[in-house]
Amino acid sequence: MHHHDPEIVEHDHMAPPRTFLTAWLILLVLTAVEVSVVLVFALPAAMRVTILLITACLKASLIGAYYMNLKFERLVMMYVIVIPLIALALVMFWGVVPDAARILGLH
Amino acid sequence: MTAVGAHEPDQTAASRWDGGRSPFDVGWGKLMMWLFLMSDALTFSGMLIGLWTLRLGSPTWPDRAHIMNIRLVGIMTVILICSSTTMALSVYEARRGARQRAVWFIAATIVAGFIFAALQATEWTHFIADGARLNTNPWGVPAFSFTFFIITGYHGLHVVGGCVYLWAMAHRIAKGLSGAGGLEVAGLYWGFVDLVWVFIWPSIYLL
C-alpha cells in the first residue's frame, strides 16, 4: 500500500520575499529597542521589563508567523502549537512565582 | 435510526477528523518536525523557568552589563535574525524551482550560524577567563554561571547541529535529492533556533 494519498493537499501559500524583508527590518528595529532600553536609556525597572517582554513577544510572533510559515497553515495547526505553550507559561508563572517570592522573603 | 453524523451541520469538519486523511493538511515530515519542535520548546521553557525561579529566589543577581559584552551579544542576535531571513528566502527560491539560488541562501544561513557559534564561544572564553565555572563563580551566585552555561550551551548545540543539518540539505537540494518540502521542514528548525534565542537573550543578558 504505497500510493500517494490525494487527500493530503499541502498548502502552497508562502509569503513573498518583500514580506520577509519587512519582517527582517522590524526584527532589527525591535532588537535595537531591546539593546537601547538596557544600554542607552535609564528607565525605571518596571518599564524596562515591560518593554523587553513586549518586544520579545512581538519578535516571537513575527518569526512564528512568517519565518515558520504558521500564518499560512490551517488555523487548527496554529492553535495546536501556540495554545499549549501559552498555557504552560501561565501555569508555570502561577506555580513558580509565589514560591520564588516566598523564598526571597525568607532571606 | 439515522447516523449521528448525518445531523452534523458541518459535514466536512466532521469527516476531516474521521481518519484516512491529514486533518492539518501538512505532510508527515512537517508534522513530525513540529512535534519535535514542540517537545524542544517545552525543554527550553523548563530551563528558562528554572532560571527565573532561581533568579527570583536569589537575594542578588550579578549585573550582566558589567560582566558580559552586551553589544557583542546584540550583534549575535542580529546575525541570527539575518540567518533566519536568508533561510526563509532559500525556501522561497526552492519553491520557485530556483535550486542554485536556494543553495546560495542556505550557504549564507550556514555561514551566519557558524559566526554566531564562534561569537558565543568567544563569550564563553571571556566568561571562563573571568573565573566562571559550572558550579561556582567570583560573583557569589553559583546559579548565575550554571544557568548561563546550560542554557546558552544547549542553544549553541542547536545552532551547530542546525548548521550540519542545513549542510546536508544544501547537498540534497543541489543534487535534486530533496525538494522544497524537505527544505521547508529544515527552515522550521532554523526558525525555531531563532525563536528560542528571542527569549534566551533578554532572560540571560538584558533583564
Tell me whether residue A5 is in a domain: no
Residue A14 grid cell: 508562502
Residue A90 pLDDT > 80, yes or no? yes
Helix B142-175 crosses helix B99-129 at what angle (to 10 degrees)? 160
Q: Is B160:B112 a contact under the CB 8 Å cutoff?
A: no
Q: How many domains does chain A have?
A: 2
Rounded alpha-carbon distances, angstroms, from residue A30 to A57, B75, B171, B194: 11, 13, 34, 14
Alpha carbon distance, N-terminus to C-terminus of chain A = 66
Model ipTM? 0.88
* Structural domains in chain B, sorted by start: 27-206 (1.20.120.80)
Alpha carbon distance, N-terminus to C-terminus of chain B = 64
Query: DSSP per residue over B93-139, as a string?
Result: HHHHT-HHHHHHHHHHHHHHHHHHHHHHHHHHHHHHHTT--SS--TT
Q: What angle do CA B113, B88, B25 make, to 5 degrees?
A: 125
Tell me whether residue A62 is in a domain: yes
Q: Which residues of chain A neighbour B24 with C-beta distances below 8 Å?
A: 73-74, 76-77, 80
To the nearest whole angstrom, how far is the Cα of A6 from the nearest Cα of chain B? 9
Residue A3 pLDDT > 50, yes or no? no
Tell me whether residue A9 is in a domain: no
In B, minimum Cα distance to A68 occurs at B188
Domain of A98? 74-107
Which residues touch A30 (CB under 8 Å, ≥6 apart)? A55, A58, A59
Residues A102 and A81 in one domain: yes
Residue showing cell 512537517 = B30
Residues A52 and A26 in one domain: yes
Residues A79 and A67 in one domain: no
Per-residue pLDDT of A41-52, as tens digits, reads 888 889 999 999
Q: Using CB atoms, pick whichever of A21, A34, A107 lies closest to residue B202.
A: A34
Q: Using CB atoms, pick whichever of B25, B84, B191 lies closest to residue A10.
A: B25
**pLDDT, chain B, mean:** 91
pLDDT tier at A97, thresholds 50, 70, 90: confident
Residues A30 and A59 in one domain: yes
Residue B9 pLDDT > 80, yes or no? no
- Indicate yes or no: CB of B65 within 8 angstroms of CB of A38: yes
B111 CB-side CA count, 13 A? 8
Q: Is B40:B192 a contact under the CB 8 Å cutoff?
A: yes
Residue A5 pLDDT > 60, yes or no? no
Rounded alpha-carbon distances, angstroms, from residue B147 to A59, B10, B115, B202: 23, 50, 23, 14
B105 CB-side CA count, 13 A? 23
Cβ of residue B79 closer than 8 Å to a chain A Cβ:
no
Tell me whether residue A4 is in a domain: no
Tell me whether residue A8 is in a domain: no
In whole angstroms, give the CA distance from residue A83 to residue A69.
17
Residue B6 pLDDT > 60, yes or no? no
Residues A65 and A78 in one domain: no
Q: Kindly report the pTM of this predicted structure.
A: 0.88
Number of Cβ atoms within 10 Å of the Cβ of B56: 16
- Indicate yes or no: CB of B59 within 8 angstroms of CB of A107: yes
Q: Is B54:B147 a contact under the CB 8 Å cutoff?
A: yes
In B, minimum Cα distance to A50 occurs at B207
Residues 175-204 of B with CB under 8 A from A: 181, 184, 187-188, 191-192, 194-195, 198-199, 201-202
Residues A25 and A64 in one domain: yes
Residues A97 and A58 in one domain: no
Which whole number is the average pLDDT over A64-93?
88
Q: Which residues of chain B neighbour A42 with C-beta distances below 8 Å?
A: none
Residues A59 and A20 in one domain: yes
To the nearest whole angstrom, how far is the Cα of A96 from the nearest Cα of chain B? 7
Say which range, A36-40, A88-92, B76-80, has the weakest mean pLDDT. A88-92
Q: Using CB atoms, pick whichever of A10, A16, A38 lies closest to residue B27.
A: A10
Tell me whether residue A45 is in a domain: yes
Residues A24 and A68 in one domain: yes
- What's the confidence (pLDDT) of residue A107? 58
Residues A101 and A66 in one domain: no
Tell me whether residue A20 is in a domain: yes
Residues A100 and A84 in one domain: yes
Per-residue pLDDT of B146-167, as tens digits, reads 999 999 999 999 999 999 999 9
Residues A21 and A68 in one domain: yes
Residue showing cell 558550579 = B135
Q: Is B46:B40 a contact under the CB 8 Å cutoff?
A: no
Q: Of A77, A63, A67, whose CA–CA distance to A31 is shortest?
A: A63
Tell me whether residue A2 is in a domain: no
Look up residue A82 and give its amino acid. V
Residue B110 pLDDT > 50, yes or no? yes
